[in-house]
Structure 1
Amino acid sequence: MVGYARAACATFVVIPLFGWDRLRHPWLAVLIVVAAAGEASWFAWRAWHGPGRLSQRLVLTDVAFCVALMLVGSRAAQAHERNKLMTELVPFSLVASAGVGFGLGLGLLAVFAVVILMTAWSLAVLPDVSLKLGSDLLGFALWYVVAMLIARELRTLSAATAAAQDAARAAGRLAVEQEREAESLRQREITHREIHDYLLPIVDHVAGGGLPSPALVREARRGAQRARRIIMDPRGLDPRVLDGDGNGNGGDGLPEPGETGFEAMMSAVVDAFADEGLALVPFVAIQGEPPVPVREALVAATREALRNVVRHAGGVDEVSLFVEGDADAVLVVVRDRGVGFDPATVRPGGGLSGSYQALRRHGGQALVTARPGDGVKVTLRWPAPSTPPDGTTPPDGTTPSDGTTPSDAPDGEAPSSAAPWQTGPR
């Protein structure tokens, strides 16, 4: 700003040349024009491109030049006409006062520099002193004060801009870190699901002395294929890679091309547990596709619930699986009439800390209703209801041991689809 003002105000020193015949030393006025043009060019270049911009040395050098300009240049006019003919030196010198305000701010050195400028002009017009001298001196003071206040505002704005940029960069780094953590969490969830849902059941079956049935062999082959994909495929834990060969071709026991939707995934779960001999009575009614992460979390949680039935329910004649939903909401209920358990005496296992927790992270809800001797009911919802029916949400997702039902349907009534297995005592 000061560089622009210096370049513009340099043109004022040409005006006294128009009174050539009234000047005492015209050649001195020409010298003043040349010197002012040279100093203005140098000052503007330093202000725009110099490493220090309005450094203290640049400001004080400009003040010294203006003092010399006024004291020497005023001698080009007659003594009684100096204030009239050479007043055009004032606009040029006022820029020096503004430079002091911008470059030096408020301080003794700045005030001293402005006083020197005012004194120099007072001496330059002697003995032609008039009321106009007062306005000239006031101009030096006002340019300094106004420039100092503008500089303060600009510095405040600059500091606020720098702070905003720092905050934006910090927010960007935080977003990248959160995205990295989310991706890491997603990979841990998939790894947990692969180990917990596909490999551990096989290891547990073999460790328990179970016979290698055809269903177990198929499950072992499927688990080996998925584990091999995790280890060898550069795309790593991409679910599309785990659920096929990455080119749309289904693997052993996996959905075929065009059947990778939510209903097909649930059907594959039903087929897998039916092969294991689970007396499963399914009801699947899907009319839309929820988001892919939600779909994966619901399928994993359903597998976990059915796997727990196989492990812990004992001999059950019938296990009910109810799946209903669309792109906006899904309800999954797994109900068995096995031995049940007391939630107060059972330590949460991998389901509550893994598959069920993953569903909650995607905005869903997993509730387990259990009572000794009366089986277990697992209710999976997405999205989670804003207010649970009983007004509370147990921290571990398990309902109290009194057997109360977290379902929206009253006890003894079925949901909107009226699945027959949901009627009767819970």
Structure 2
Amino acid sequence: MPEAGSATPPRAFVRTLLRSGAPADPPRAAVDNGDLTAVGDATLARAARYWVVVPLAYRIAAFVKVFIGFTAANGSLGLGPVLGATVFAVAANAAAVVWVLRAGGLRARLTRRALAVDLVVGVALCFAVAATAPDAIQPFAVDVPWTWLVGGIAMAAGTSGLPTALWLFVAAVPLRAALTLAGGLPLTHPLAVTRSIGCLVALAVAIVIAVAILILLGVGTRFAVDIGLRRGREAERRRTRRIMHDSVLQTLEALAISAPGDDTHAVTRLAELRSVAKAEAAELRRHITEPVPTGSRRSFAVELADVATELARDGLRTQLVAADFADDHKVSQDRRSALVEAVREALRNTVKHSGTKQVVLRVEQRDGGIAVVARDQGQGFDIHDRPPGFGISQSIVARLAEVGGHGTVDSQPGRGTRVTMWVPG
């Protein structure tokens, strides 16, 4: 996976956003390979699918506001065409919002066609009102359907980039003049001039706001992706350290321990060491080739029994108590896997440090989750004098904390050790 520095530099990224708008979905292969630029573009593309909801919602509210202002200033004069345009616009934009949300956003392949249709509808609506409104209030009446074009050009800025929005702004100047002529007014009519300037200013403001939102959305998405990838790399480093500790390091320590009769039973001892090495190699290969749990229908108690069987080769006798436990598979596979690995580490610590070869493993439902308690009657230790090592702090406590659970260790010299491990349901 490439480092963060391989991504598009921030300034170049912002320039790309301004020039082209929100990116389309990048090739799937680039995303799967972990290319930071492709991952950022894919995330932004998914977020941008819902971007059109903002101008659509703006138009719903703005049409109502402008209509109220029109009726307050002009009464019933020209009310028919303006009311018709308002009702149509509110209904059409509300339907568009519902469609976008249900369809999972506006896909990039539909964006240009949808934008073109939207602008055509807006222009037609403006001409319909301009041609039917009374001359005396025609410029005010056109202000109402002009709201549609304000939202449309804002959508253009976000989906197609600033150049497209600026070209549409330039085209809006002769369009506004054409609307004035369609209403039978001269281009020099004072009211038509002032209202046209006001409407063009509204377009400019919409473009600025849309571009600002696009930049915030794009930069924020890149920033979030960068943080996520950094945390992912750190999590992967922790996972690698745990695998090395829980498998390779444990095996090397076991191989280094001298057993009684090593000199006289060298052949038997060598066979045992080879068996241990072969088993650990198989376990390490499983971690490497299957890094992500794919789910399991086996009972959780059976998974714990497998761990107990695995540790039996080191001489540990495990009494598994699960009489009051009903495995309902409500706990996610990630949490079950974390709990199983934590139990494995707890049992290995029993083998290495407790001075006993017997442990009781109790599994039960507790506080809406699964709890496993490993208890031995070994020599114990003083927790205050012996701070937790890597096995307890990382392979048990930190591993469970990452999936929302927790692990605690209670021990006293001469009274054994109890390790309590819990994950939520």
When normalised by structure 2's length, the TM-score is: 0.50
Higher helix proportion, which one? 2
Greater relative contact order: 1 or 2 (C-alpha under 8 angstroms, separation 6 or more)? 2
